[in-house]
Structure 1
């Protein structure tokens, strides 16, 4: 059966790698991004624009919520209200907007897969990245709640928690912060987007059939729980 996937943040980094991997499985992929290179140029923080874009797609079977920002690289007490709010608007509220838009159709059809991009920071908390860490913890909680709400509907909702991955987004992270985070990985290297995309592809497939509301670490051994 032909499936359609909507990948937010799908123009670069983990979103792009995921879109390419899903296409390799024969899935029709639409990218949603602020970039003009996306199939749908939309800011995930704009609820109305998200709703209109999803409506224009037709049935969405798979939703990959990859759009995200690192946010401020500074101690919590130096973070401005705007920096904090912006980080949550993209990383958490954006996922809320997309899930709210696609879930009714998935429930009606009795099948769907949602994969939310969290982070190992949402479990461990990274110093100098408190807004990012807190937002990714919220993604984990959202995933667990929505997974339970939809558990008997045929719609599965899971999250992934990567450690540091070689993406353009991490280019915005202060070098000393990035080096410290990479040093926490027992494998001694950062991950590649293609490695993450393999996990996402399984979670988005029919082969994933008895997992929902779960968080899958892909961290080179960094995860402690």
Structure 2
């Protein structure tokens, strides 16, 4: 039996990258998981035991009604929600200065990176409050703390995620629910692989360790943050930055 035995989690962006690795880690440690991603085909390729432990849901996380229906479906299947991890995200257009950023792209990035995390947390919190227990983790970014030149939409959206984490952490601090964020520097994911080489070089050179983080490193700290053992930290943004952030 693993440390998440009999716990129920929802993970967004579960079909690839960080969401995929965290999902498999929690499954291996005994959790039942609602796996959410817009790419339903990839979900079905990556997960093989839906009869017992998994509820695979393809949806558009920027549609609040779809999010609410997905949460209701997971509650109907497993009876509760203990954990929410918001991994879904996009960088949007990068390596461009602010005066070249389109309003349409900015809005799209905010819809996926910020609004979707708001919709999911809004939907699960009443269920967590009913049991006086919960763990919510929003995946932010070091860019949300420092700002990455050439990444206005991404940096601003992740700063908003960090702001929401601080507010929610305070609001539910006395309820048995902890709400934290994780701010990675560059983690080698498909999201990063799709970015311009110059942008990735700019970001990596800021890291004192002079390397990108691994998905396994990110999954390990994420699992601790949402574990029962992490009970006295809330409203906090954990760094995973190879020394880039020391505050």
TM-score interval, normalised by the smaller of the two chains: over 0.9
Following TM superposition, where does structure 1 have runs of at least 4 consecutive aligned residues deviating by more than 6 angstroms? none
Q: CA deviation at 1:22?
A: 1.0
Work out whether 1:192 is the aligned partner of 2:214: yes
Q: CA deviation at 1:14?
A: 0.6
Work out whether 1:3 is the aligned partner of 2:1: no
Whether the aligned pair in 2 keeps the contact of 1:147 and 1:213 (CA below 8 Å) is yes
* Aligned equivalents of 2:60, 2:226: Cα separation in 1: 23
Residue 217 of structure 1 aligns to a residue in which SS? Answer: strand
Residues 42-61 of structure 1 aligned to structure 2 (within 5 Å): 42-58=59-75, 59-61=80-82
How many residues align? The count is: 225
Given candidates 78, 86, 91, the residue that maps to 1:65 is 86
Residues 147-166 of structure 1 aligned to structure 2 (within 5 Å): 147-166=169-188
* Aligned equivalents of 1:29, 1:193: Cα separation in 2: 19
CA deviations 1:9-56 (Å, max 9, x no partner) are 011001011111111221112210001133110111000000000000
* Aligned equivalents of 2:157, 2:15: Cα separation in 1: 22
* Aligned equivalents of 2:214, 2:137: Cα separation in 1: 18
Whether the aligned pair in 2 keeps the contact of 1:70 and 1:172 (CA below 8 Å) is no
* Aligned equivalents of 2:211, 2:88: Cα separation in 1: 24
* Aligned equivalents of 1:95, 1:66: Cα separation in 2: 9
* Aligned equivalents of 2:93, 2:21: Cα separation in 1: 25
Residues 199-210 of structure 1 aligned to structure 2 (within 5 Å): 199-210=221-232
Q: CA deviation at 1:188?
A: 1.3
Gaps (5+ residues) in structure 1?
none
TM-score (norm 2): 0.89
CA deviations 1:125-153 (Å, max 9, x no partner) are 00000110000000000001001110001
Q: CA deviation at 1:81?
A: 1.1
Work out whether 1:108 is the aligned partner of 2:133: no
Residue 238 of structure 2 aligns to a residue in which SS? Answer: strand
Q: CA deviation at 1:196?
A: 0.4
TM-score (norm 1): 0.98
Q: Counterpart of 1:21?
A: 25
Gaps (5+ residues) in structure 2?
44-55
Q: Counterpart of 2:163?
A: 141
